[in-house]
Chain A
Amino acid sequence: MPARPGGGAGMLQRRAMEDQSTPAVRKPAVPPARRRFLKDAASVAGGAGMLALGVGLYAKQASALPATAIRPPGAFAEADFLAACVRCGLCVRDCPYDTLKLAELGDGVVSGTPYFNARAIPCEMCEDIPCVVACPSGALDRALTNIEDARMGLAVLIDQENCLNFLGLRCDVCYRVCPVIDKAITLELIHNPRSDRHAMLLPTVHSDHCTGCGKCEQSCVLPGESAIKVLPIRLAQGSKAEHYLRGWEEKGAAGGESLIGDQIELPVRGLEDKAYGDTRVGPGEGPQGRSEGAYAPAAAPGGGLDSGWKP
């Protein structure tokens, strides 16, 4: 009998096991039906999983919002908004000015979500905010009841080279149309250094009042692109430097008490008879007014600090 190395005992054992169970038919470890089921389930689940993964990655990739697409008033932060919005378009339907649009595939905005383009049709800031009332999904915040509290975005005078007011004209259109005029946009008067004899009135946006409605962007008189644009707040604003305390704010909050205590009041040359801190110089005042004659250095007869220097 040819001996097979290591085979004899194992074969005997196996024979014995087979005799104990059903004879003749050798059972595989996993029945074929179950094996086929497991194989099928794995491939089906794998295929579906890959498809879902692709969808998930695409969704994550395609959720960036273009800077000119503004969400309706009361919209939660973009991540929460995209978790809630069911894309039913009820806000669009209840917008009386056709401001809101539902994004179509290819618009660059997540397909089916509401947005508006301020240069085309801005938000008219309805007092009853019908878009927020219409939203069933929880994507628009119903705690927003006063439209002036809306923060759809923030207007930024982004092109100072072409803005007519920066060129020295009195266009003022963005300021005039602002629904929160003199609070959200003010005109700040400064000297025009180019002509040296005129003023410039610069439209200046204040984030604590701007709702991001986009009326300014729509009405900017420049052909084509507007010089003032509503941007998403995260783009329009820098982060606050929390580690710098603003002395004037701290002083106001502390009831006029400065954080660093009272400072020593040092006299200012030539302004000795004025209130401390008042540096305005009228005609006939100042060093020129004192020493009418020729330049006479360090010849102050009555003492004091006036050196008599003049430019």
Chain B
Amino acid sequence: MNTTAAAAKERKLPPRSVRGAAMRGVVARPGQEAIDNKGWLRAHKWLLLRRFSQLGILALFLVGPWLGWWIVKGNLSSSLTLGVLPLTDPFLIAQQLAAGQWPYREALIGGGIVLAFYLLLGGRLFCSWVCPVNLVTDAASWLRRRLGLKGGKAPAARTRYWLLAFVLVIAAATGALAWEWVNPVSMLHRGLIFGFGLSWGIVGGIFFYDLLIAPRGWCGHLCPQGAFYALLGRVSLFKVTADQRSACNDCMDCFAVCPEPQVIRPALKAVGQDHPLILDADCTTCGRCIDVCGQDVFRLTTRFNRSES
């Protein structure tokens, strides 16, 4: 009786889903069931929106130097939009303060605006919707899945918080923004706008680190800037919920595409919590789990909506 139920469940699993592929010994194509069920466009909705946001923000910075339309000047570290709106990365201001420097009013106002935005809406929205390194690590992750690369060793996911602490300690000890010597996030964005030099090496290093050594190693385990924004996201508004979790067929596709897979289980499988809300601040709210789920288990909501249907 039990075996027939298991067989029925296995039959229900789409053949190219992560678990189905593992059973049949083929390379997994997570999201195939979602494409079959919902159509390609709906199965890539959040991914497309996210790429639009990432590339759109980059384009706003690039049309100045390329076409002379100065909408935004500067880069993600600090910028001036339309000559009036200052925006500054609060992670940099934190490093500056640790190094013993007090920035000008514009930087403080700009840092305050950015801080408030991510504090209210979602800390790691920066990582998945703005940061250019996400394009690199997503590409590495995609290639890893397509090539069927298994294994690898990533450092503990908590390493980034320690690194964040040490970044501030090192800034205080050296009296300089030491992390900015090597920070791939600011380096990639600055390189795209102002010219790379040898920064390609650091970006390429991250790509190959994620591809060959540590799955989701940079964004998911090491990046102290991501850790900084994750700390901001502890109280933020937008959250993904697994409110249709009763429909889950255990295909594992969401785990395969999620950049922070450890955040799904508590909500989806009710481990350590009752409600279906993904409240873990490590969640980047990228929405890729919503895309690839053929059963429409996930959707975007606010942190106050704990209902389950």
Give A contacts to B, CB under 8 Å.
40-41, 43-45, 47-49, 51-53, 55-56, 58-60, 62-63, 79-80, 82-90, 92-94, 102-107, 110-112, 134-138, 142
Choose, from B119-127, B184-192, B209-217, the stretch at the interface. B184-192
Contact of B99 with A by CB under 8 A: yes
The answer to whether A104 touches B78, judged by C-beta atoms less than 8 angstroms apart, is no
Cα–Cα, bound, A49→B167 (Å): 9
Cα–Cα, bound, A138→B110 (Å): 14
Give B contacts to A, CB under 8 Å.
64, 70, 73-75, 77-80, 86, 88-89, 92, 96, 99-104, 106-107, 110, 155-156, 158-160, 162-163, 165-167, 169-171, 173-182, 186-187, 190-191, 193-199, 201-202
Cα–Cα, bound, A89→B198 (Å): 18
The answer to whether A138 touches B195, judged by C-beta atoms less than 8 angstroms apart, is no
- A104 and B197 contact, Cβ closer than 8 Å, known pairs A80-B101, A136-B78: yes
Further pairs besides A52-B170, A93-B73, A111-B197: 5, Cβ < 8 Å: A55-B170, A56-B178, A79-B175, A83-B96, A103-B197
Residues on A with C-beta less than 8 A from B74 are: 88-90, 93
Residues on B with C-beta less than 8 A from A51 are: 163, 166
B52 to chain A, nearest CB (A): 25
The answer to whether A142 touches B180, judged by C-beta atoms less than 8 angstroms apart, is no
Tally the A-B contacts, defined by beta carbons under 8 Å: 170
A49 to chain B, nearest CB (A): 6
Closest partner residue, chain B, to A63 (CB atom)? B176
- A58 and B107 contact, Cβ closer than 8 Å, known pairs A86-B78, A137-B96: no
Kindly identify which residue among A83, A111, A136 contacts B110, using a CB–CB cutoff of 8 Å: A136
A154 to chain B, nearest CB (A): 24
The answer to whether A45 touches B162, judged by C-beta atoms less than 8 angstroms apart, is yes
Please name 11 pairs of A and B residues whose Cβ atoms are closer than 8 Å in the assembled complex, sorted by A: A44-B155, A55-B170, A55-B179, A58-B181, A86-B89, A87-B77, A88-B75, A105-B187, A107-B197, A112-B180, A138-B103
- Considering residues B80, B158, B176, B202, which has the most beta carbons from chain A within 10 angstroms of its beta carbon? B176
Residues on B with C-beta less than 8 A from A43 are: 156
Cα–Cα, bound, A199→B288 (Å): 81
Kindly identify which residue among B77, B155, B182 contacts A86, using a CB–CB cutoff of 8 Å: B77
- A138 and B102 contact, Cβ closer than 8 Å, known pairs A82-B176, A105-B201: yes
The answer to whether A84 touches B166, judged by C-beta atoms less than 8 angstroms apart, is no
Residues on A with C-beta less than 8 A from B163 are: 48, 51-52
The answer to whether B181 touches A111, judged by C-beta atoms less than 8 angstroms apart, is yes
Residues on B with C-beta less than 8 A from A92 are: 194
A96 to chain B, nearest CB (A): 13
B191 to chain A, nearest CB (A): 7
Residues on B with C-beta less than 8 A from A86 are: 77-78, 88-89, 92, 96, 103, 107, 177, 180
The answer to whether B166 touches A62, judged by C-beta atoms less than 8 angstroms apart, is no
The answer to whether A84 touches B103, judged by C-beta atoms less than 8 angstroms apart, is yes
Which 6 pairs between the two chains have the least Cβ-Cβ distance?
Answer: A104-B197, A52-B166, A88-B78, A48-B162, A59-B178, A106-B198
Cα–Cα, bound, A104→B201 (Å): 12
